[in-house]
Amino acid sequence: MASSPRKLIVVDDDPVDVRFVMRAFSDAGSPIEITHVADAEVASDRLATEAFDYILLDINMPGTNGMDLLKRLRGRTRTAVTPVIMLSSSSNSADVNRAYENGANAYAVKPSTISGYRDFAEGFTRFWIDVAVSP
């Protein structure tokens, strides 16, 4: 594991979901530093100048949605290969397929319970931090 903490940016406009994500990573003891941004345009600006190891991205947001942000990020040298994990309330196969077609590394449906979020955070940590080799 790297000596400096890994950095995750969570792009989601729903404060309840974000609270669940942050609490779940904390409860899981995940060695990750989390930044929350509620707006895709603000996230786009931050990702243009700041380095993050992972991007957790919601699809349904007002203004620029997560799918449009994903396309934009994949077109930039700085974020072209940064792992993007879509975390959406949509289980629609068209959304899932579009996310992968646009360069998402993974797609998960938002859990309905805090224990579901904890399972997500533990699985994320086990794979993305403990197993996967980052670009």
Predicted confidence (pLDDT) per residue in 39-95, tens digit: 999 999 999 999 999 999 999 998 999 999 999 999 999 999 999 999 999 999 999
Mean predicted confidence (pLDDT) in 8-35: 94
Phi, psi of 88 (to 5 degrees): -130, 155
Confidence check: pLDDT of 134 > 90:
no
Name the burial class of residue 27, with classes exposed (0-12), middle (13-18) and buried (19+) by CB atoms within 10 angstroms of its CB: middle
Nearby residues of 109 by Cβ (< 8 Å), 6 or more positions away = 87, 88, 89, 90, 91
Q: pLDDT class for 3, splitting at 50, 70, 90?
A: low
